Amino acid sequence: MSRDTLSGEEVAAEVDVLIVGAGPTGLYAAYYAGFRGLSAALVDSLPEPGGQVTAMYPEKRIFDVAGFPEIRGRDLISGLVEQADRYEPTYLLGRYATDLAVDSRGLLVGLGDGSAVRAGAMLITAGIGEFTPRPLPAGDGWLERGVVHFIPEIAAHEGRDVVVVGGGDSAFDWVLALHPVANSVTLVHRRARFRAQDGLIREVERLDVPLITGAEVAEIRGDEHRVREIELELSGGDTKVLRAQTVVAALGFTAELGPIAEWELELDKRSIKVDTTMRTNRERIYAAGDVASYPGKVKLIATGFGEAATAVNNIAVELDPSARLFPGHSTNTG
């Protein structure tokens, strides 16, 4: 909800820039805000910084960050937090941004815990928003007993027989991550063709991992503690039983912007439209990363970093018209 005033909220922080979303783009924006001499606070509904990377892919290898041939998700986030902490941003984690009010002093953003943040400007780096994994139809009742959507600790599955269900990038990423530690890894996909990138598919094929296509999980069997095996229904009508103590349901997820969708921002489906400065249709409100939309957009972590710098530089000028848009390179500072 967008309102002119918010009443009764305790102000948790007063900053130049409120960053909504503490994923990679938000963390880099916090660093860059500090570099520009702006105070910043990060709000995120998750209890730890890192956004989707921390929640879903901490052990997965990331290949599209410049300067790193590959880097684990948790290591990338650790580096970004260390970089941002140089300028001591305020972290308001485990809280949703709910309400937005505009007054003569700038923006006042209400949080789900009843507090609020006052800011001169806001940068929304909320990624895909609030995400919910798509369930495995046969997996009802087996969550926490072997059926998982994400794997925070790869080592916890050492020596297990793992079945990964899905055909996209995430499914193949999990196969690559689990193969070195699991007793066996098998990928099952209901279609004959995969959606994953060709490079990922070739890498998995070189490992000689069984790839079962045209198959769906018909039944999961086990005991009160854990999955023990799954039964597949094959396209020809036959069935196949696989031993499994872990079943990774990598079937994608649904996402919603949540309360942000009610802030009178111009939207493009579940994304926020921005101009070349990363500004939205509302004054002092910008967006960057996967949540930002413009013609030709490519959704990469590397893209988000550049958008964050663009947004913060333009925010600095909007807050202080005498400021320079481009302050120089960080390598020129002590």
Tokens 């967006």 found at: 287
Instruction: Give the closest residue to 189 by CA, choosing from 146, 220, 234.
Output: 234
Q: What are the pLDDT digits (tens) for 69-116?
A: 999 888 999 999 999 999 999 999 989 899 999 988 899 999 999 999
Show binding-site residues. Answer: 25, 44, 52, 57, 97, 131, 290, 331
Instruction: Report the chain's mean pLDDT, rounded to a whole number.
Output: 91
Q: Can you tell me the distance from the alpha carbon of 92 to that of 95, in angstroms, rounded to the nearest whole number? A: 7
Tokens 């570099």 found at: 35
Give the helix ranges, DSSP H, for 122-245: 169-178, 198-206
Position 39 scores a pLDDT of 98
Position 5 scores a pLDDT of 54
Position 53 scores a pLDDT of 86
Contacts of 233 (CB under 8 A, 6+ apart): 215, 216, 217, 218, 239
| pLDDT surpasses 80 at 322 | yes
Domains 10-131+254-332 and 135-251 share a fold: yes
Where do the domains of the chain lie? 10-131+254-332, 135-251
Residue 8's pLDDT band, with cuts at 50, 70 and 90, is: low
| pLDDT surpasses 50 at 2 | no
Instruction: Give the closest residue to 98 by CA, choosing from 151, 60, 45.
Output: 45
59 within 8 A of 74, measured Cβ to Cβ: yes
Tokens representing residue 48 in the block: 């730890």
Position 144 scores a pLDDT of 85
State what percent of residues in the chain have pLDDT above 90. Answer: 72
Instruction: Give the closest residue to 259 by CA, choosing from 56, 88, 112, 140.
Output: 112
The residue ranking higher by pLDDT, 74 or 295, is 295
Position 243 scores a pLDDT of 97
147 within 8 A of 165, measured Cβ to Cβ: no
Tokens 């139809």 found at: 137
User: In the CATH scheme, what is the code of domain 10-131+254-332?
Assistant: 3.50.50.60
The residue ranking higher by pLDDT, 59 or 12, is 12
Q: What are the pLDDT digits (tens) for 217-245?
A: 999 999 999 999 999 999 988 999 999 99
Position 212 scores a pLDDT of 97
Contacts of 8 (CB under 8 A, 6+ apart): 114
Q: What are the pLDDT digits (tens) for 153-194?
A: 889 999 999 999 999 988 998 999 899 999 999 999 999 999
Position 21 scores a pLDDT of 94
175 within 8 A of 209, measured Cβ to Cβ: yes
234 within 8 A of 214, measured Cβ to Cβ: yes
By the 10 Å C-beta count (0-12 exposed, 13-18 middle, 19+ buried), 7 is classed as exposed
Residue 334's pLDDT band, with cuts at 50, 70 and 90, is: low
What would the mean pLDDT of 265-282 be, rounded to a whole number? 95
Sign of CA dihedral 10, 14, 18, 24: negative
Position 169 scores a pLDDT of 87
Tokens representing residue 148 in the block: 């998982």
Show binding-site residues for FAD. Answer: 25, 44, 52, 57, 97, 131, 290, 331
Instruction: Give the closest residue to 102 by CA, choosing from 86, 118, 125.
Output: 118
What would the mean pLDDT of 254-282 be, rounded to a whole number? 92
CATH architecture of 135-251: 3-Layer(bba) Sandwich (3.50)
| pLDDT surpasses 80 at 9 | no
Q: What are the contacts of 276-279 at 24+ separation with CB within 8 A?
A: 276/310, 277/310, 277/311, 277/314, 278/123, 278/307, 278/310, 278/311, 278/314, 279/311, 279/314
What would the mean pLDDT of 33-51 be, rounded to a whole number? 94
Sign of CA dihedral 73, 75, 81, 83: negative
Q: Can you tell me the distance from the alpha carbon of 41 to that of 198, in angstroms, rounded to the nearest whole number? A: 40
What would the mean pLDDT of 299-304 be, rounded to a whole number? 94
